[in-house]
């Protein structure tokens, strides 16, 4: 168990990629806090699955767009587990697809808050215990759209995800002296409720056919396995990187 004795916190851990990540970290031996905002049923189901693996799980309702909520989330985690080695900033959503000329100011601010500000707030909190123990893994979930500009009507989302990559690189330089690594993972089209909500099936199938050389969507478990590697000691010489997992949709 490469994460035995360690504790992880995964935001947006009640479904999709976040749920798969929480389970994968538990399989590697970690205790896991998973935050959620609306999907309590999903969060508790994932927590039950983690506990059946013999690991401790703590579902916590938190609006990670709000600094005060983030502080409470980390307090709950540390009260339960006493330490934090792995943070996965996964919470995010597109809101809805809207042409730029029609995008309301509120949508812009909300999408930036959820996808970028939340990452900054959670990193701030995580650094306190990680610096003290001189060890940590911060993993930020970005998107292939941060590289390509993404599909139509989603500029706030892809701008935020590009910001996540810049944040990752800057923070990696700042905290390397404390043996803390900071990396981003940029998924492409993954088979989750996210794409079902925001892209019509025919459009999604067309994108996969024309843009993805491997000719299929990715699976949440495939993203989770990459997170498991980055969270481990095996990745100790990787920091400031953005690791692409997109079936060849974008190659850098």
Mapped onto helix, strand or coil, the DSSP state of residue 58 is: strand
Rounded Cα gap, residues 34 and 56, in angstroms: 11
Q: Tokens for 36, please give them.
A: 């959620």
Rounded Cα gap, residues 243 and 147, in angstroms: 12
Phi then psi for residue 216, to 5 deg, are -160, 160
> Hunting for tokens 């949508």 — which residue is that?
107
Is position 157 annotated as part of the catalytic site? yes
Q: Are 125 and 113 in contact (CB under 8 A)?
A: no
Q: Active-site residue among 157, 178, 237, 252?
A: 157
What letter would DSSP give residue 233? G
H or E element that contains 119: helix 118-133
Rounded Cα gap, residues 123 and 167, in angstroms: 10
Q: Are 29 and 94 in contact (CB under 8 A)?
A: no
Annotated catalytic residues are: 157
């Amino acid at each position: 168990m490469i994460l035995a004795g360690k504790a992880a916190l995964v935001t947006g851990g009640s479904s999709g990629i976040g749920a798969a990540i929480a389970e994968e970290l538990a399989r590697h031996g970690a205790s896991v806090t998973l935050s959620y905002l609306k999907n309590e049923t999903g969060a508790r189901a994932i927590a039950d699955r983690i506990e059946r693996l013999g690991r401790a799980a703590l579902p916590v309702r938190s609006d990670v767009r709000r600094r005060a909520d983030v502080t409470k989330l980390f307090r709950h985690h540390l009260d339960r587990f006493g330490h934090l080695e792995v943070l996965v900033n996964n919470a995010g959503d597109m809101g809805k697809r809207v042409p730029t000329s029609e995008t309301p100011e509120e949508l812009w601010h909300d999408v930036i808050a959820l996808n970028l500000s939340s990452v900054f707030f959670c990193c701030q909190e995580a650094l306190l215990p990680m610096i003290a123990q001189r060890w940590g893994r911060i993993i930020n979930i970005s998107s292939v759209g941060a590289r390509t500009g993404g599909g139509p009507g989603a500029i706030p989302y892809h701008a935020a995800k590009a910001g996540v990559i810049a944040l990752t690189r800057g923070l990696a330089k700042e905290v390397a002296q404390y043996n803390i690594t900071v990396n981003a993972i940029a998924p492409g089209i993954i088979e989750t409720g996210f794409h079902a909500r925001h892209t019509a099936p025919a459009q999604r199938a067309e994108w996969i056919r024309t843009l993805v050389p491997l000719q299929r969507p990715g699976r949440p478990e495939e993203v989770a396995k990459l997170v498991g590697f980055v969270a481990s000691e095996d990745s100790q010489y990787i920091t400031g990187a953005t690791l692409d997992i997109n079936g060849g949709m974008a190659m850098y």
